[in-house]
Amino acid sequence: MDERFIELAEAAQAEALQRAIDNRVRYQGESAEDCDSCGDEIPEARRLAVPGCRLCVDCQVLLEVQRV
């Protein structure tokens, strides 16, 4: 496997990931810009990584801890 092939494979992988993210945003709706619970701004990286998320990281962790 030469370097050119690895580059192509990585580019294809990045493109597939981006497509998957786009699709999830499309099908699961927009993420909230501010946390539903505490009103803090939700970082863009989290909104993109977790489509449709309504809570900031802190509140999400609290929720999951309470659920256990």
Distance CA 65, CA 21 (A): 27
Task: Give the shortest CB-42-to-Zn ion separation in angstroms.
Answer: 8
Q: Is 57 in the site for Zn ion (CB under 5 A)?
A: no
Q: Pattern of binders to Zn ion over 18-47, x per CB under 5 A?
A: -----------------x-xx-x-------
Task: Give the shortest CB-25-to-Zn ion separation in angstroms.
Answer: 21
Distance CA 29, CA 39 (A): 19
What residues line the site for Zn ion (CB under 5 A)? 35, 37-38, 40, 56, 59
